[in-house]
Amino acid sequence: MKFVTKHIKSISIIIFILAVILCAVYFQLSKPHSYTFYAFDTFVNLTLYGKNADAVADNAEKLIIKLENELSLYRSGSITDKINSADVGEAVEVSAEYAGILRTALNVSEKSGGAFDITIRPLSMLWDVKNRTSPPSDDEIAVAKKLVGYENLILTENTVTKQSDLKIDLGGIAKGYAADKLKELLVSSGIKKGIINMGGNVCTIGSKNKTEGWNIGICNPSDPSQVICSTKASDMSVVTSGGYQRYFEYSGRKYHHIISPHTGYPADSSLASVSVICESSMLGDALSTAAFVLGKEEGETLIKSFAAKGIIIFSDGEVYRFD
């Protein structure tokens, strides 16, 4: 009898220890780990659930630095720099992945009637909203505008050729691409739940739980520290473009960073922001920039034509959702 009681006691202790270990593992897996680093001119925030999150986040940071070195027009030796420095007619070999970004960009350019145009560089450089304190002259804008035209960027498989002396700026699509690549890395590293936030470019992994998607807040353009509305997302991206994100003020007017290739001026469509909800962050990024330039009617038509959903915030604070 004594022997049986002793045995039961030992088994109970083992069960108790196992339960504690299981609880610790469960707690570790269900606890979010947060990481922030600076890349692509913005704060990149990762919220990851699961084991090995520290090691995975380390690799994610390395990947984002590598991508920035490939894509940024400010990095000498980047593919973008090579294209921008190439002579007219010179063939520039690009990676299959870089060609994929250009293909998406050119497709959205065509479908948006040129509202989205990565050859915007002469205008984005002229407007330089980070450093300017007053707008450029009409003459300067007219000269820069003539240099813009995606039709002169020829992509054949993995080769890019310029038909005019154009320069590209992937600022309207690169963060989305980077978010997609980050997600790929995180998922292949075993992360089943998480959120990637690249300054308004949110890409979700999995769902919050079995019944609910992640709740993604959309910034109030009049006070970006506040949320104006939210949307649920599971394995989806929510990408926002807004005139409130980067701008300078002159004579009581705001001059922001999203430029209409047709006018050469910051897009003036009475929209305060456009959010696009779709699977590909890269596509969502290009579409939100394009729709911001196009305005409500054409922007909505464009977003819907890619089977994506959208949320428009008007300058007066009205929230308009469509799918």
- Binds 214, which of ligand AMP, Mg ion, none (CB < 5 to 8 A, cut-off by type)? none
Nearer to Mg ion, 280 or 289 (CB): 289
For residues 310 and 321, the answer to whether their CB atoms sit within 8 Å is yes
Least distance from ligand AMP to the Cβ atom of residue 293, Å: 5
Residue 39 CA: distances (Å) to CA of 49, 82, 174: 22, 21, 11
Which residue among 83, 289, 293, 309 contacts Mg ion (CB under 5 A)? Answer: 289
Nearer to ligand AMP, 205 or 259 (CB): 259
Residue type, 200: G
Position of tokens 């202790």?
13
What mask of x and - would describe binding to ligand AMP in positions 274 to 313, judged by CB under 6 A? -----------x--xx---x--------------------
For residues 114 and 261, the answer to whether their CB atoms sit within 8 Å is yes
Nearer to ligand AMP, 135 or 261 (CB): 261
Cα(154)–Cα(49) distance, integer angstroms: 42
For residues 240 and 322, the answer to whether their CB atoms sit within 8 Å is no
* Residue whose C-beta lies closest to Mg ion: 289
For residues 58 and 48, the answer to whether their CB atoms sit within 8 Å is no
Least distance from Mg ion to the Cβ atom of residue 27, Å: 38
Least distance from Mg ion to the Cβ atom of residue 165, Å: 25
Nearer to ligand AMP, 116 or 248 (CB): 116
* Contact flag: residue 68 with ligand AMP (CB under 6 A): no
What mask of x and - would describe binding to ligand AMP in positions 78 to 117, judged by CB under 6 A? --------------------------------------xx
Residue 77 CA: distances (Å) to CA of 81, 86, 164: 6, 12, 21
Residue 34 CB contacts under 8 Å (≥ 6 apart), including other chains: 45, 46, 47, 48
Nearer to ligand AMP, 236 or 283 (CB): 283
Q: Is 177 exposed, middle or buried (0-12, 13-18, 19+ CB in 10 A)?
A: buried
* Contact flag: residue 124 with ligand AMP (CB under 6 A): yes
Residue 209 CB contacts under 8 Å (≥ 6 apart), including other chains: none
Position of tokens 């739940």?
193
Position of tokens 């039709």?
151
Nearer to Mg ion, 117 or 285 (CB): 285
Q: CB under 6 A: which stretch of 43-51, 87-95, 224-232, 252-260 binds ligand AMP?
A: 252-260
* Contact flag: residue 180 with Mg ion (CB under 5 A): no
Least distance from ligand AMP to the Cβ atom of residue 109, Å: 8
- Binds 116, which of ligand AMP, Mg ion, none (CB < 5 to 8 A, cut-off by type)? ligand AMP
- Binds 106, which of ligand AMP, Mg ion, none (CB < 5 to 8 A, cut-off by type)? none
| 234-247 b/e (C-beta count within 10 Å ≥ 16 → b) | eebbbbbbbbbbbb
Least distance from Mg ion to the Cβ atom of residue 173, Å: 6
Nearer to ligand AMP, 47 or 124 (CB): 124
Q: Which helix (H) or strand (E) holds 220?
A: strand 214-220
Which residue among 221, 261, 284, 299 contacts ligand AMP (CB under 6 A)? Answer: 261
Residues at the site binding Mg ion, with contacts judged by CB under 5 A:
172, 285, 289
